[in-house]
Every structure is written in structure tokens, then in C-alpha cells.
Chains A and B, each alone.
Chain A
Amino acid sequence: MKIKQISIFLENKSGRLARVTRVLGEKKINIRALSIADTTDFGILRLIVNDPDTAFRALKEAGFSVNVTDVIAVEVTDSPGGLADPLEYLRDAGINIEYLYAFLTRASQAALVVFRVEQIDEAVKVLQLKGITILDGSKVYDL
């Protein structure tokens, strides 16, 4: 139920993001979702890609600080209040969300959101009990 997210440390200098995406492009890696957290000095780029292991190796070889974290891909109904449901379930279970971001595109009735939580197994359990769909890796990577 968990999927692998690649995080890359980026200094706030021009051209760094271009470099990351080029490295991935050369390895024929497709980006499924991304988000950037930034401060004045640096940013952290988080990616969901079709082949996380190859992406990790390629970026490391290119000299980036990279790590892999487990996250979950939650399907929410693409209608008003759709995101509020899972968020409330997690709140009620006392599970804090570190951050979340949406998938780039998806041609379907549901939207996909990446959740980064500390107690990931517990979160999966809580959401599934409430009937929320969590996609597994193979499905997400092949989107």
C-alpha cells in the first residue's frame, strides 16, 4: 500500500530543477507527481516516478542529495469536500500529516493525493476501514 517518494535537496540556484528533470529524462523516467517545499536558501523536491529505484540511482550518481520515503497515494472523490473526508478520519485518529500534494493529471472521476504521515501503517488502516481507496505502488507507477 505504500509507494516510494524520491526527495532531492536543491539549493535555490537557477538551473537546479532543470538539471534534475534532465537527468531523469535521460533515464526515460516519467514523473507522476511532484511538489517543492522551499525556504529562502533551499528547496526540497519530492517526486513520484514510474521507476523509483532507477531514479534514485541516477540522481545519486549525478551528485544530488537524495532519499527515499514511503508515502501513500489516496484516492479522493473529485467533488467538493472530497479531500475533507480522509483528512478528518486521520485527524480523529490523531495522525498528523507532514505534507500532501496532488498528482499532476488524471483522467478519471477520482483525484489522487499523496499523503506523507509519520504513522504510515496506522494511517493506511484507518483510511481503508473508512472505505477510502489507497493505491499500491505498481498501480501508481504505471499510471
Chain B
Amino acid sequence: MYWDREFETMPREKIRELQLERLRATLGRVYNNVPFYKKAMDERGIRPSDIKALDDVRKLPFTVKKDLRDNYPFGLFAVPMDDVVRVHASSGTTGKPIVVGYTQNDINTWAGLIARALTMVGAGKGDVVQNGYGYGLFTGGMGVHYGAEKIGATVVPISGGNTGRQLMLMQDFSSTVLTCTPSYALYLAEEGENAGLDFKKLPLKAGVFGAEPWSERMRRQLEDKLSIKAYDIYGLSEVLGPGVSMECPAQEGMHIFEDHFLAEIIDPESGEPLPFGQQGELVFTSLTKEAFPVIRYRTRDITMLSEEPCSCGRTHVRMRRVTGRTDDMLIIRGVNVFPSQVESILLEFGETEPHYLLVVDRKGNLDDLEIWVELSEKWFSDKVRQLEEVEGRLKERIASVLGISARVKLVEPRTIPRSEGKAKRVVDKREL
């Protein structure tokens, strides 16, 4: 089933023509409307008119997360604020989030892409979509919501958390599609099992899981426990939100919606483009975004692309599961976390050379974050109350900056291992 047969099955030759046409239009707009992009292109002596073939995209400079941060909050918007109908934001590395904007057309495009994604997994009118992605500044909740409405499904905007209620409504409302992070889905499955719930007897048929890395092993567990088909969805707020690519029933990679995004794979070290089939960093250029277009945005996600024809009939390239990152970003309970965020908090607390370690684990299928902080002399007191106060204040600040709660554990000085003068900041014990 296709939502948009014409575009989803377009011959590759025609897709490339369409991409070039849309790329040129996008470049014209950003060159004229976004000083950052104009400057970046001028510095390289490139004009939008120099892009005559799709491969010419390689002449354009990359955009990185820092550029988005430096232009906080609206510096990279390509339309007047009057035309921006919504903003979303993701956690940044220094406390200030990265803000993205959408025009009404952008919102419609996004809903259309989610509609494609849901249709791809067999959802449509008559389905009940239980949307367990977080609603709010995070793109997940509202992104999926509008697309689910667009296909005529009944949306249950339950957002994340509140497991008891999730399980109750899943039964009472006869939910047929579950959308949430894969780790939360697994948690729901186990909690349901513990409560004696037989998922085989529920009408639930498909899960659209994303916003964090997962594995084939988790897919088998989810499909088995929830008695559904589990599909991977990919996206990032800088480029759109969920719905940049989506797995089809063949379950062999996610189709990137190439009529809206131009994908490249590059060598993360040299920045050189790599051919299909080679593993590297995924880079996106938006082709239709109005409010927040991005040019060669480096996602830091490691994957590979395949142009092989797919049994589902769609012609868009497929990306393999994301297997890693080129930076130190962690995804914990669907939230992006950088160790440097913890560092900046410790600096705020007056530490001049903070030593800390993020210990990530999965307990009962839920991500668990414990932050070890070496106790410095100035924090140490002979009174337990005072140390617990330090722990408490750190915990509060971490929750507010990271957007997820973490346990704080004070440890003795010089007990966090250092290697070659540079401390190891993360121990990730999760098995995906």
C-alpha cells in the first residue's frame, strides 16, 4: 500500500531530476534569505547557479550542529517569522536547545511523510494509533500525530510514560498501531506480561519505533512479545523530525523520502563522498523545507545506503539501521545526551577540572543513567546532609539540562579511569 504512489515509486532517473530541480530552488532561497548560508557559499565562491548537476552538491560546504547552535534561536530560518507556524527544539550541548521552525506547508509536508510511513506498515482509516512519543518541544509526538490524522486513523495522543494507563487504553480503545521508542515498547510488553495481559488477543498489529538505536534482536523480542510487526522509523529534528526515512514491509532498511531529502554518505574524517554500499556518515540536504532548510547537514549517524530495487516496489534508496555515531552523543530514553552537557553543569558548580562518568545501562528494558562525579575537596564535608545536598542539586540541574533524570553518585577522587590524559566519559552497558 502506498500513500503517494507517484512519488514513492518514481523511476530513479526522474527522482534525480526532481531532486536537482528542488535543490536549485532551495539553494536560491537560502542564498537570498539566510545570511549564514550566503556567507558560507560566498567564501567558497559558489553561487546557486553553479549547481548544474546533482553531484555538484559536493561543492557546497557542510553544515554542522555547532552552526545551528551559533545561530540560536531563529538565525537560520529562511522565511519571516510571520510565516512560521510552529517551532520545535532538541537539547543542545550547552543548555541552549537547537530550534527548528515550520511553515504551514512544512507541517503539511511532514504530515504527508508520516502518512506515507504509516500507510507503508498497513495503517489507514479505521486504525487506532496509540502515540507514545513525547508531545512538546520534541518532534516525535506532534510529528506522528498529524500524519496519523492525515491517514484518517484515530489518534490516541497519550504521549510517553504512564505505563499503567498505556496498557489500559491499549485494551479499552483497541489500539492497532503503537508508536513510541523501541525500549519503551519493550518495557510496555514486559509490564503487560507481568499484569497477565495476553497481547495475542489484542488487535495491536504494528509498531513504529524510532528516536533511538535498536537491533534485530530487539525487533524479534518486540514482535514476539507484542504479537505485532515492528518497524523502524528514522528522523532528526534538524532535518524534519520523524519521517525522514521509514522501513517498509520487506524490513530490509528504511526508504529515505528522496523527493524531500537528498542523502549522501561521506567519510567522516575526510568529508569525501562515499559510493552506495559503503559505510559512513549520513548527510542531508532538505529539498522542500521552507522555514528551516538545511544544506549538507552532517547527522553524525553512521550507516550505509543501498540503491538496490526493493521488493515493496518503492524506488527510494534505503538506509541501513544506524550503527553508531561519529561524535559522543548518546540516546537515552529517546533523548539526545552529550557528555559535555554534564561537564558544563559541573563547571557551573565551580569545578575547574571536573571528572565524571556517564554509566548507561538498561534495567527492565528501560534506559538507566547514573552519573559518577569525583568528589572534589571543596564539596567534601564531614556531614552527610551536606553531601546529599550536593547530590540533590546536581541531580536537579542535570534533569533540567539533559531533559531526563539521572542518578548522581559521588565517588572518590582519582577513581574514574583516565587514559592518555583524556578521561573516558561514557560506559554504555546496554545490549541492543
Interfacial residues, chain A to chain B (CB-CB below 8 A)? 5, 7, 9-11, 16, 37, 39, 41-42, 44, 46, 63-67, 69, 98-99, 116
Q: Please name the 6 residue pairs, one residue from A and one from B, whose CB atoms are nearest each other, closest first.
A: A7-B382, A65-B380, A37-B384, A69-B382, A63-B414, A65-B375
The proximity string for B residues 406-419 relative to A, scoring 1 for CB distances below 8 Å and 0 otherwise, is 00011111110000
List B residues 402-432 near A (Cβ within 8 Å): 409-415
Question: Does B383 reach chain A (CB closer than 8 Å)?
Answer: yes
Closest B residue to A43 by CB, please name it. B384
Convert B371-386 into 0s and 1s, putting 1 for each residue whose CB lies closer than 8 angstroms to a CB of A: 0000111001111100
Give chain B residues whose Cβ lies under 8 Å from the Cβ of A116.
Answer: 382
Complex partner residue of A42 from B376, B383, B410, B413, CB under 8 angstroms: B410
19 cross-chain CB contacts under 8 A: A7-B381, A9-B387, A9-B412, A10-B412, A11-B411, A11-B415, A39-B387, A41-B410, A42-B387, A42-B410, A63-B413, A63-B414, A64-B412, A65-B375, A65-B376, A65-B377, A67-B381, A67-B382, A98-B383
Q: Are B413 and A64 in contact (CB under 8 A)?
A: yes
Name the A residues within 8 Å of B380 (CB-CB): 7, 9, 65-67
Contacts of B382 in A (CB 8 A): 5, 7, 44, 46, 67, 69, 116
Give the interface of B toward A (CB within 8 A).
375-377, 380-384, 387-388, 409-415
Contact pick for B410, options A7, A9, A99, CB 8 Å: A9
A65, B384: Cβ atoms closer than 8 Å: no
Task: Name A45's closest neighbour in chain B (CB-CB).
Answer: B382
Interface pair B383/A65, CB less than 8 Å apart: no
User: How near does chain B come to A93, taking the closest CB pair, in angstroms?
Assistant: 21
Docked pose: A39 CA to B375 CA in angstroms: 15
Specify which chain A residues have a CB less than 8 angstroms from the CB of B387 in the assembled complex.
Answer: 9, 39, 42, 44
B384 and A39 contact, CB distance less than 8 A: yes
Q: How far is the CB of A3 from chain B (nearest CB, A)?
A: 13
Interface pair A65/B388, CB less than 8 Å apart: no
Give the docked Cα–Cα distance between A42 and B382 (Å).
Answer: 12
Contact of A44 with B384 in the complex, beta carbons under 8 Å: yes
Chain A contacts for B410, CB-based, 8 A:
9, 11, 41-42
CA distance A16 to B415 in the complex (A): 12
Complex contact B383–A9 (CB within 8 A): no
Q: Which chain B positions have C-beta within 8 A of A7?
A: 380-382
A87 CB, min distance to chain B CBs, angstroms: 19
Is the beta-carbon distance between A41 and B409 smaller than 8 angstroms?
yes
Taken together as a complex, chains A and B put the C-alpha atoms of A7 and B410 apart, in Å, by 16
Which residue of the partner chain B has the closest CB to A116? B382
| Interface pair A65/B413, CB less than 8 Å apart | yes
Nearest CB in chain B: distance from A35 CB, A: 10
Q: Across the interface, which residues of A come within 8 angstroms of B383, CB to CB?
A: 44, 98-99
CB of B412, distance to nearest CB on chain A (Å): 5
Give chain B nearest CB distance to A37 CB in angstroms.
5
Cα A97 to Cα B9 with chains together (Å): 78
Chain B residues with Cβ under 8 A from A9's Cβ? 375, 380, 387, 410, 412
Q: How far is the CA of A9 from the CA of B373 in the complex (A)?
A: 13
Q: How near does chain A come to B391, taking the closest CB pair, in angstroms?
A: 8
| CA of A116 to CA of B381, assembled, Å | 12
Distance A62 CA – B415 CA, assembled complex (angstroms): 12
How far is A63 from B376 in the complex, measured between Cα atoms in Å? 11
Chain A nearest CB: distance from B2 CB in Å?
55
Residues of A within 8 A of B413 (CB): 63-65
Give chain B residues whose Cβ lies under 8 Å from the Cβ of A44. Answer: 382-384, 387
Bound CA–CA A62/B377 (angstroms)? 14
Contacts of A99 in B (CB 8 A): 383
Given contacts A65-B413, A69-B382, 11 further A-B contacts (CB under 8 A): A7-B380, A9-B412, A10-B412, A11-B410, A11-B412, A39-B384, A42-B410, A63-B412, A64-B412, A64-B413, A67-B381
Which A residues touch B409, using CB under 8 A?
Answer: 41
CA–CA, A65 and B415, complex, Å: 11
CA distance A87 to B415 in the complex (A): 40
Residues of B within 8 Å of A66, CB to CB, are 380
For B377, B383, B414, B415, which residue has the most chain A Cβ atoms within 10 angstroms?
A: B383
Interface contact B415-A67, CB-CB below 8 Å = no
State the CA gap A6–B387 with chains docked (Å): 16
Residue of A nearest to B415 (CB): A11
Interchain nearest-CB distance for A103 vs B (Å): 17
